[in-house]
A = this chain, B = another copy of it.
Amino acid sequence: MDEKKDNQELSPLQKARLKYSPKIPQILQNISAVSFEIGDQSLSVDSFPQISLNPQLRLISQDLETLSKPLRVGVVLSGGQAAGGHNVLTGLFDAVQELHPESRLFGFLNGPSGIPKKKYIELTKEYLAPFRNQGGFDAIGSGRTKIETPDQFEEALKTCQELDLDGLLIIGGDDSNTNAAHLAEFFLERGCKTSVIGVPKTIDGDLQNENIEISFGFDTACKIYSETIGNIARDAISAKKYYYFIKLMGRSASHVTLECALNTHPNLALIAEEIQENKETLVDVASMIADLVVARNEQGKEYGVILIPEGVIEFLSDIKALIKELNLLLATSGVHSKNLEELHSFSKKIEYIVPLLSEAAKSCFMLLPSLLQGQFLIDRDPHGNVQVSKIETERLFIHVVEEELCKRRKRGEYHGSFSGQPIFCGYEGRACLPSNFDADYCYSLGRLSAALIRHQKTGYMAAITNLNKPAALWKAIGAPLHAMMGLESRNGKLKPVIKKALVNLTSGSFQQFTKLRELWRLQDHYAQPGPIQFFGPKEIVDSIPLSLQ
């Protein structure tokens, strides 16, 4: 126990939220009566000989004997913040206490590395009290470290054995849950009793599959971003002088952008998966946006709202090719990386690199404003790769649209005055007070995890389904982790990993979007969802993501 509590002061709203009782599914009310029946069997996966025998588990209510021995459970938060994480901890804590009042919960500190390093604190009722229904991951911290090396696996095993853990909860995204599957497999192989259970966390919404309807944190993040987008749209239609280019966090997939578009009705929302499907280039998209600006100008409108998913850059075919060439050219092991390092002036670096590019890559590179040329050339990761998440896509689009409009102006096709404003919706959506939906969902996931651990299930993800119904009607299952896997190339080898879900272009929510977006282009159908509400009408405080409806 090496971490002391910080001195955060609770605001009046934070204090009021402490008193909120999360709503839970009927089936998870009496946690002592929860049992499982066997559902579908999935195909086995070679890399997981043990856990791939796991069938799906469906919750049932059964008269069970009281647990004779207290449970000992460990929990860890992995990766970026997502609203509701603390409620997984409190849901788990309350449930293990209900199962046996002497059960104990241990929180590993600052991410998965806390397990092999055996850095933890005990999570007591008193310790958890100020974290109920609160944002952030700071009760135990989080981290992006993984358990990867054989040594780390051994040390993690040792920690779980020394702490005599019945269960270990790993709260994380696709990578962390892939890691959970490996740990479950390893523990079984080594006869360790610790059940390993995953919980689906990520604001990006890309951890979805037939058992997982949505990851937690997605709803709150989309509500926070939609609040901002709605406010910005109302500003646009009032001031009538800016085009707001709003970049939204959410990594590769465009789930966040799609959900926010359905909530706010922007004039345009780029969906990366559609751009990829249509094999569009940066120039294509710039031209499409310029078309919008010209058409709105003809209606006397010099303002607009455009949503941009942060991942779009990797889905533009020309930029993708450019990044690939630059990554090869600038690999840290190569000579060019060193030569470039030695050139101190930015223009010298450009003079050096441009002749090395193919014609196509060169013409794409020359489209970029100098600030972004710098982000492509200078901001590289330790392997020499372009750091895609650091590229300011919102500024890139403003620049290329300006260039395109400039050409059209010279040809007499445009007579307006375009003024773009870049906005980024990101970090503020990760650690905020969870919406009722995320508070309820997370608390339920914590309770479900306790039931899985009590029944010594391992290699499962806690899954709550029927989320578009009131919480009392939600269903709960144990979803086998191995069944979520697909093979992907990592460092040249095919490895089983939990598949990232991209936006499905045949899904209901995407279809709904394509039906409405024509209307949103030129007319202004902006909606302003406003701030998340915690008191008041049920349809407001208990609203769920539109893409779940």
A residues adjacent to B (C-beta < 8 A): 6-14, 16-17, 80-81, 110, 134-138, 141-142, 224, 227-228, 230-232, 234-235, 237-240, 242, 244, 263, 265, 345-347, 370-371, 421, 423, 427-433, 523-537, 539-540, 543
Of the candidates A13, A240, A263, the one having the most CB atoms from chain B within 10 angstroms of its own CB is A13
A8 touches B530 (CB 8 A): no
The one of B138, B224, B537 in contact with A238, judged by C-beta atoms closer than 8 angstroms, is B138
Given A13-B540, A231-B432, A347-B347, output 6 extra A-B contacts at Cβ < 8 Å: A7-B523, A12-B537, A14-B530, A134-B528, A232-B427, A235-B431
* Closest CB pairs A-B (n = 8): A535-B536, A531-B531, A234-B431, A235-B431, A136-B234, A137-B238, A13-B530, A231-B432
- List, in ascending order, chain B residues with CB within 8 A of A136's CB: 234-235, 237-238
Residues of B within 8 A of A370 (CB): 346
Residues of B within 8 A of A543 (CB): 12
- Which chain B residue lies CB-closest to A422? B424
Minimal beta-carbon separation of A238 from chain B (angstroms): 4
8 interchain pairs (CB within 8 A)?
A: A9-B525, A9-B527, A13-B533, A135-B231, A227-B432, A347-B347, A432-B530, A531-B531
Give the most central of A110, A234, A535: most B CB within 10 Å.
A234
Cα–Cα, bound, A450→B13 (Å): 36
* Residues of the B chain whose Cβ atoms lie less than 8 Å from the Cβ of A17: 530
Tell me the complex Cα distance, A534–B16, Å.
14
Closest to A110 in B: B240
CA A263 – CA B11 in complex, angstroms? Answer: 8
Contact in complex: B232, A11 (CB < 8 Å): no
Q: By the criterion CB–CB under 8 Å, are B536 and A534 in contact?
A: yes
Residues of B within 8 A of A539 (CB): 12
Residues of B within 8 A of A536 (CB): 16, 534-536
Main SS class of interface, A:
loop
A526: chain B residues within 8 A (beta carbon): 8-9
The residue among A80, A239, A433 with the most chain B CB atoms within 10 A of its own CB is A239
Min CB–CB distance A17 → chain B (angstroms): 8
Chain copies in the assembled complex: 2
Cross-interface CB contact of A428 among B228, B239, B240, B346, cutoff 8 Å: B228
Contact of A533 among B347, B432, B531 (CB under 8 A): B531
Query: Do B531 and A237 touch across chains, with their CB atoms under 8 A apart?
Result: no
Known: A13-B529, A81-B239, A530-B433. A8 touches B428 (CB 8 A): no
- Nearest-CB residue, chain B, relative to A13: B530
Picked from B12, B110, B234, the residue with its CB within 8 Å of the CB of A432 is: B234
Closest partner residue, chain B, to A81 (CB atom): B238
Q: Please name all residues of chain B whose beta carbon is closer than 8 Å to the beta carbon of A533 when the two chains form the complex.
A: 13, 531, 533-535
Task: Provide the residues of chain B in CB contact with A138, threshold 8 Å.
Answer: 234, 237-238
Residues of B within 8 A of A224 (CB): 231
Closest beta carbon of chain B to A141's beta carbon, Å: 6
Residues of the B chain whose Cβ atoms lie less than 8 Å from the Cβ of A237: 6, 8, 136, 138
For A427, the chain B residues whose CB sits under 8 A away are 231-232, 235, 242, 244, 421, 423
Among A110, A138, A224, A242, max chain B CB count under 10 A is at A138
Q: Is the CB of B238 within 8 A of A528?
A: no
User: Most chain-B Cβ atoms within 10 A of its Cβ — which of A10, A16, A138, A238?
Assistant: A238
A141→B239 CA distance, assembly (Å): 7
A140: nearest chain-B partner, CB-CB: B238
Q: State the Cβ distance, A137 to closest chain B Cβ, in Å.
A: 4
Among B9, B137, B531, B537, the residue within 8 A (CB) of A532 is B531
Taking A228-B428, A528-B14 as contacts, is the C-beta distance between A523 and B234 under 8 angstroms?
no
Cα A11 to Cα B530 with chains together (Å) = 8
CA distance A540 to B536 in the complex (A): 13
- Does the CB pair B535–A535 fall under 8 Å? yes
| A227: B residues at CB distance < 8 A | 428, 432, 531
Give A159 to B256 CA distance when docked, in angstroms: 49
Q: How far is the CA of A540 from the CA of B535 in the complex (A)?
A: 11
Say how far A19's CB is from chain B's closest CB, in angstroms: 10
Given A9-B265, A240-B141, A428 and B523 touching (CB < 8 A)? no
Are the CB atoms of B524 and A6 closer together than 8 Å?
A: yes
How many Å lie between the Cα of A237 and that of B432 in the bound state? 12
Contact present for B433 and A80 (CB under 8 Å): no
Give the distance to chain B from A351, nearest Cβ to Cβ, in Å: 11
Whole-angstrom CA separation of A433 from B530 in the bound complex: 7
